[in-house]
Structure 1
Amino acid sequence: MLEIALRHRFPGFDLDVAFEAPGGVTALFGRSGAGKTSIVNAVAGVLHVDEARIRIGDSDLQDLPIPARRIGYVFQEPRLFPHMSVRGNLRYGQRSPDMAPIVDMLGIGDLLDRRPAALSGGEAQRVAIGRALLTEPRLLLLDEPLAALDEARKAEILPYLERLRDQAGIPMLYVSHSVAEVARLATTLVALENGRVIRFGPAADLLSDPDLAPSLGVREAGAVLQARITDHHSDGLTELSCQAGALLLPALDQPIGAVVRIRIEAQDIMLAAHRPRGISALNVLPVQITAIREGAGPGVMVQLDAGGDRLLSRVTRRSAQAMALEDGWRGYAVIKSVAVAAANVSGA
């Protein structure tokens, strides 16, 4: 268990946060100026705050000097030593007796003899992560590690971050302002606003909460569900089983039986009072409304129960009124297969 409670007064800004999280990836999410980087800097010990409680398991860290905290830190920029090879960078501060498992996990074995100038942005960031892991940290901090990368490099490194989440066995604090990254990687979400925690808890629960949608961004809002691959069809579609029934998505490069995490954006879910016929959308799931929230504009955010999974649908206020949408309403969620982008499907 990770426990953090911090208070600090900056000129014109007060930081006052407290949250707990189990192992895995805890995402600190919020707009610029919300306090995300201040939190990780305080945890690392490079920012001395007025009051702090930082606890990992049975260990209190707040009064320890920086080296004794044993915290790995990965920044937006890789910050590799340009005069050293990749192997030399990995060995800097190395405590782990064997670098091979981490090199294999991050897929950097072919890069060991290169200098940082010969690496792509994604390769350099993987090396930076490997260097942090080889110090045998008890906690890994990642401060927007993908922010400086283009979309192609982000797509390259995200599977390695998933592998890190699943295999490293250490808690991670992951700073991000990208809902897509949080949905793909986080096990716990801490939503921040103006130096305060507005909500924290399991990422899947918070991402599907219509009350949190304005803070996450209504255009980015979308729920996360898990599904198991049951078949790969010859027409290029993969069939999956979720709690509400079957889903068909563009072909996934994972074996039958694999469990995946799927983010479905609220704007991509239509609602129907009756099971529709003669439509091109292949996914029709029975749902029940569990919450409905009107926004400041023309939109309404609707939370849906789909056999135990939570989904979000964003519809207009006019449609909500015409369909008499309210808590308890039963109908169908309609999802086009091609609406779910490949980047929104990942390992669970």
Structure 2
Amino acid sequence: MTLEIRLSHAFPDFRLEVDLALPGGLTCLFGRSGSGKTSIVNAVAGLLRPDQARIVLDGVALHDLPPYRREVGYVFQDARLFPHLTVAQNLTYGPRVRRQQPRGLDRIVALLGIGGLLDRRPGTLSGGERQRVAIGRALLSRPRLLLMDEPLAALDEARKAEILPYVEALRDEIGLPILYVSHSVPEVARLATTIVLVEAGRIAAAGPAAAILSDPGTATLLGLRDAGAVLTARIAAHEGDGLTRLQTVAGPLWLPQVAGAVGRTLRVRIAAQDVILSRTRPEGLSALNILPATIAALHDGQGPGVLVRLDLGGEFLLARITRRSAQALELLPGQAVHAVLKSVAVAQADVGGRTADDSA
């Protein structure tokens, strides 16, 4: 799948200028509120008519078509379900869906875990359950592209944790391209195969998720507090003391109990502020995770901090340390160091499934 988006549109307070060629998988549009993310998605859906537009999905020009002929599904921040209808009736609402029933219904219901909700009405559902129903309704229209505009923004952390695995399953099992809007770095790090950073109506950076997240130059756009990178890891063993041993390119990584069978491949987000550097392998530490690495780059930004990009052997971490520490250690690109990480520093929400489309 390829999605080409070229837009030019003047708003009263800023101008939207977009030129993107996106692969399949789940593409996250990330940026501050008002940066233009939702406007891009609305233009693809046909809800915004830009001054100039070229939107092409697998060779089909969407910009010339009315919204109902674009074959895109749209999941909004609020579920927008009909309160007087049951879940089953909401799922099958609309002539296009009814014509195609029951094809695909059972699979979507099972994928989203909503089989026990079919006879209930939206008012009796949790926020996460309502969003799963909204996703199911969008999928049952058999779209060629799924648009998701901050679908988790209105949910609390518990409901987000509930629904994230379903979005991962959607990404990995359906094979449907997804354009996903978010301003949450942990959410983007867990879900995205491609990241597009939007700033003041323009594309500041775009590329594979692992590359964007581990680039010190994009950290200011993501927010220094949220700077971090993702590692690919495989579950090697569940230990008796409540820890799970993961295998990475740089060696073992111990984390608090991780759900999943031995052999499952995961992606793990590690925050830059949780990584400590040592020129030699440290001894006598309580931290279990000590990964050998090579300094790939140092990024000296504003304030007292320095971002260090670490090559673990084809995958990358970020470490955020003070400039004083970098000078004291005499850090330079190409030097061998050890990255130290406490097991409890990685939250459960930062561990998720990995799609084969991910790239380091």
1:10 matched to which residue of 2?
Answer: 11
1:191 is aligned to: 197
State the one-letter code of the partner of 2:301.
G
Asked if structure 2 preserves the Cα contact closer than 8 Å seen for 1:229 and 1:241, the reply is yes
Distance in 1 (CA, whole Å) between partners of 2:47 and 2:259 is: 42
Q: Which moved more, 1:265-274 or 1:229-238?
A: 229-238
Distance 1:20 1:239 in 2: 38
Following the alignment from structure 2 to structure 1, what is the Cα–Cα distance between the partners of residues 21 and 194? 9
Q: Distance in 1 between matches of 2:307 and 2:170?
A: 34
Partner of 1:36: 37
In 1: Cα distance, 2:154 partner to 2:174 partner: 24
- Structure 2 portions without partners, runs of 5+: 355-360
Deviation at 1:104, TM superposition (A): 0.5
Q: Over aligned residues, Cα RMSD in angstroms?
A: 0.8
Are 1:280 and 2:286 matched, yes or no? Answer: yes
Classify the secondary structure of the residue corresponding to 2:259.
coil
Letter in 1 for 2:308: V
**Runs in 1 of length 4+ with deviation above 6 angstroms?**
none
Residue 330 of structure 1, CA deviation: 1.3
Distance 2:10 2:48 in 1: 12
Q: Percent identity?
A: 62
Unaligned stretches of 5+ residues in structure 1: none
Q: Secondary structure at the match of 1:212?
A: helix
Deviation at 1:12, TM superposition (A): 2.3
Per-residue deviation at 1:237? 1.2
Contact 1:220-1:265 within 8 A present in 2 as well: yes
Answer yes or no: is the 8 Å Cα contact 1:272–1:331 preserved in 2: yes
Indicate the residue corresponding to 1:24 in structure 2.
25
Q: Which amino acid aligns with 2:282?
A: P
Deviations 1:240-275 (A, max 9, x none): 111111111111121111000100000010000100
Q: Which residue of 1 aligns with 2:141?
A: 135
Q: Per-residue CA shift, 1:177-213, capped at 9, x if unaligned? A: 0000000000000001000001101011000000000
Match of 1:118 in 2: 124
In structure 2, what residue type is equivalent to 1:289? I
Deviations 1:307-339 (A, max 9, x none): 211000000011011111121121100011111
Contact 1:244–1:308 under 8 Å retained in 2: no
Q: 2:229 maps to what in 1?
A: 223
If the length of structure 1 is used for normalisation, what is the TM-score? 0.99
The aligned amino acid for 2:179 is L
8 Å CA contact 1:210–1:312 kept in 2: the answer is yes
Q: TM-score, normalised by structure 2?
A: 0.95
Q: Which residue does 2:253 correspond to in 1?
A: 247
Aligned residues: 348
One of 240, 254, 268 as aligned partner of 1:262: 268
Measure, in 1, the Cα distance between the counterparts of 2:197 and 2:176: 21
- The 2-side partners of 1:150 and 1:238 are apart by 27
Q: Which amino acid aligns with 2:143?
A: P
Q: Does 1:206 align with 2:205?
A: no
